[in-house]
């Protein structure tokens, strides 16, 4: 079976998305991750358009890429000049990449109305540019921009542009749905006709076809799939579907569909388990919150909340899952909420390492309590850390690693200065009392710093923990400033991310409950690791240092 080549354009087309930006160093780090995944082509940017992309290609020359071909991107030559004199084409050559991609116009509307060019000169620009780059020893990928719109408007001319690129030596002819408005049946029909045309024009010797789709109609992945079934052997897209307007075809969907659903060779099976990690790495590098509902790699992609669903999944995962999440590095999650039954709690307890009573009494009690707490404003399906602590409390397994005696938070505001926050906290660890104070950018920041400072004297490993997200939601605004608020805090260390929750009429108290749970969760991890290390070393329990 013919291999489907994966062409990533996250570093170029992806950065045209709103609020998406990478430094040259960040682009190198992403490129290395893509190479580890086994992506065939990595489009690094447009060196003729900005200094950052030029800097990336200089940095990339110092790196070793095992699988991927770094690819420079640009346009065909300008009208009425020689290809050898075009500054954009010169910049592509100077990048010293093994492959280059250039785009040309397929739609007379763009050629004549937008560029003010002639149809004949546009064909010459395509042919000359491809031929020049081939003479320089480069693999050339030709992106036929606006191809589907061009074909629907003037199929004869759209085909002539492909023929010009192919005759000049283009290694790939990529059909672009640049406006993202084509429907799957249109893409299927046009790709099929293009393939027949090329085979008739150059029997056994025509350039293979690629596909590049945008998501303006929500169909980028679907259009890419039907293009493959119609004969395309290169698929272009971006990690997480980042890109201009509504984005590009999402490789996080396309890769598992091609490799697992369709059995098309594209990424090695053992590499597929890196897919979720790659998605999250690019999200965090772009400073974008990962989309929980993203298919395949999202946190919620294999999450189950309804009690009937969970009961069925426990018997046979196929009942409510279209594939094994482990194949792409994801995992099954069971959510606990007021919609839960005992099956949810039993599954979740096992996942979180909480032992329940064998007679089912604990699980029924937990379900009832969770439903009551969610009526009061809690939301445990987004707060696994607090849920674990709650379950441990009900089953008398919770051992607090610190106790709060008291805290005080003060806010100061001078007329010409921003607010400053100060927190004083008094805690107990075993029988030892600790009082400390700290400043912060706000009351919760000050509390966090004070608690971290106090606990740091007992738990030096706490340095690896960081708060990464803080959300406040008014539960019922009809009470005005006296309304109850829900605070969700997300924390992380080198191993995992966890969330905790607090609810109160007082935003500081709600924040404290979420903050305290987060630290209790982390400290329990530290203690469990110490115990496991002692067990491996055969250290007696009496000598385990808390």
Pair 412, 374 in one domain: no
Domain that holds residue 462: 403-543
Q: Are residues 55 and 156 in the same domain?
A: yes
φ and ψ of 101, to 5 deg: -120, 130
Give residue 341's pLDDT.
Answer: 67
What is residue 545's predicted lDDT score, i.e. its pLDDT?
A: 44
Examine residue 288 and state whether it is found in any structural domain, yes or no: no
pLDDT at site 48? 76
**Domain match, 378 and 411 both:** no
We report the CATH number of the domain holding residue 449 as: 3.30.160.270
**CA-closest candidate to residue 124, choices 160, 174, 164, 175:** 164
**How much is the pLDDT for 260?**
96
Domain total for the chain?
A: 3
464 inside domain: yes
- In a shared domain, residues 337 and 447: no
Within a domain: residue 287? Answer: no
Q: Which residues contact 489 (CB under 8 A, 6 or more apart)?
A: 467, 469, 470, 471, 499, 500, 501, 502, 511, 514, 515, 518
Say if 294 falls within a structural domain.
no
| Shared domain check, 240 and 128 | yes
Same domain, 489 and 343: no
Q: Are residues 378 and 525 in the same domain?
A: no
pTM to 2 decimal places:
0.73
Q: Is 232 part of any domain?
A: yes
DSSP 3-state percent helix, strand, coil across the chain (nearest 5): 45, 20, 35
- Per-residue pLDDT tens listing for the chain (546 residues): 789 999 999 999 999 999 899 999 999 999 999 999 999 999 999 997 788 899 999 999 999 999 999 999 999 999 999 999 999 999 999 999 999 999 999 999 999 999 999 999 999 999 999 999 999 999 999 999 999 999 999 999 999 999 999 999 999 999 999 999 999 999 999 999 999 999 988 887 889 999 999 999 999 999 999 999 999 999 999 999 999 999 999 999 999 999 999 999 999 999 999 999 999 899 888 888 788 899 999 988 988 877 778 778 878 888 988 999 999 999 887 777 656 667 777 787 887 888 887 656 677 778 788 878 878 888 887 788 898 998 888 888 888 999 999 999 999 888 777 888 999 999 999 889 999 999 998 899 999 999 999 998 898 878 888 888 888 888 776 666 667 889 999 998 877 889 999 999 999 999 999 999 999 999 998 888 877 776 655 655 544 444
Is 278 inside any structural domain? no
Same domain, 316 and 207: no
Indicate whether 374 belongs to any domain.
yes
Q: Does residue 292 lie in a domain region?
A: no
Q: Looking at the structure, do residues 307 and 453 belong to the same domain, yes or no?
A: no
Q: Are residues 249 and 128 in the same domain?
A: yes
SS3 for 451? helix
Structure confidence at residue 360 (pLDDT)? 60
Query: In the chain, how many H helices and how many E strands?
Result: 18, 16
Q: Of the candidates 221, 249, 267, which is a domain's last residue? A: 267
Q: Residue 228 sits in a domain of what CATH number?
A: 3.20.20.70
The answer to whether residues 92 and 156 belong to one domain is yes
Pair 69, 193 in one domain = yes
Indicate left, alpha or beta for 499 from its phi (over 0: left) and psi (-120 to 50: alpha).
beta
Residues sharing a CB contact under 8 Å with residue 300, sequence separation 6 or more, in sequence order:
292, 293, 333
């Amino acid at each position: 079976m013919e291999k489907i080549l994966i062409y990533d354009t996250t570093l170029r087309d992806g950065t045209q998305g709103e609020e998406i930006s990478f430094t040259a160093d960040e682009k190198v780090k992403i490129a290395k991750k893509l190479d580890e995944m086994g992506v065939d082509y990595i489009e690094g940017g447009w060196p003729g358009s900005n200094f950052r992309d030029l800097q990336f290609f200089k940095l990339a020359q110092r790196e070793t890429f095992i699988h991927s071909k770094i690819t420079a991107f640009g346009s065909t030559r300008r009208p009425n000049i020689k290809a050898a004199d075009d500054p954009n084409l010169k910049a592509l050559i100077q990048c010293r990449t093994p492959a280059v991609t250039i785009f040309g116009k397929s739609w007379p509307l763009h050629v004549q109305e937008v560029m003010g060019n002639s149809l004949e000169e546009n064909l010459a620009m395509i042919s000359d540019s491809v031929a020049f780059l081939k003479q320089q020893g480069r693999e050339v990928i030709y992106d036929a921009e606006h191809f589907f719109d061009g074909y629907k408007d003037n199929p004869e001319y759209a085909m002539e542009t492909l023929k010009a690129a192919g005759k000049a030596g283009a290694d790939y002819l990529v059909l672009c749905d640049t406006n993202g408005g084509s429907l799957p049946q249109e893409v299927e029909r046009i790709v099929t006709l293009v393939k027949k045309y090329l085979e008739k024009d150059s029997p056994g010797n025509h350039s293979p076809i690629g596909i590049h789709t945008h998501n303006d109609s929500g169909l980028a992945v679907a259009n890419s799939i039907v293009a493959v079934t119609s004969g395309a052997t290169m698929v272009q897209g971006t990690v997480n579907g980042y890109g201009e307007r509504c984005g590009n075809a999402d490789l996080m969907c396309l890769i598992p569909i091609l490799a697992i659903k369709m059995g098309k060779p594209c990424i090695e099976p053992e590499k597929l388990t890196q897919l979720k990690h790659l998605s999250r790495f690019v999200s965090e590098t772009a400073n974008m919150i990962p989309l929980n509902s993203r298919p395949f790699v999202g946190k919620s992609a294999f999450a189950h909340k309804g009690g009937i669903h969970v009961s069925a999944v426990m018997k046979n995962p196929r009942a409510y899952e279209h594939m094994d999440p482990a194949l792409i590095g994801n995992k099954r999650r069971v959510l606990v909420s007021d919609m839960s039954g005992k099956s949810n709690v039993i599954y979740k307890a096992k996942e979180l390492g909480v032992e329940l009573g064998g007679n089912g009494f604990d699980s029924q009690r937990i379900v009832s309590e969770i439903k009551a707490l969610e009526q009061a404003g809690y939301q445990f399906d987004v707060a696994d850390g607090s849920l674990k602590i709650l379950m441990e409390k009900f089953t008398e397994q919770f051992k607090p690693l610190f106790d709060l005696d008291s805290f005080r938070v003060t806010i100061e505001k001078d007329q010409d200065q921003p607010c400053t926050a100060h927190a004083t906290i008094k805690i107990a660890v075993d029988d030892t009392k600790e009082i400390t104070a700290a400043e912060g950018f706000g009351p919760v920041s000050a509390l966090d710093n004070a608690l971290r400072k106090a606990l740091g004297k007992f738990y030096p490993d706490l340095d690896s923990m960081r708060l990464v997200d803080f959300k406040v939601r008014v539960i019922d605004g009809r009470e005005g400033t006296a309304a109850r608020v829900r605070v969700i805090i997300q924390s992380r260390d080198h191993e995992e991310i966890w969330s905790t929750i607090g609810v109160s009429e007082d935003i500081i108290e709600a924040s404290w409950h979420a903050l305290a749970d987060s630290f209790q969760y982390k400290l329990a991890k530290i203690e469990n690791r110490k115990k496991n290390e002692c067990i491996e070393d055969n250290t007696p329990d009496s000598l385990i240092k808390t």
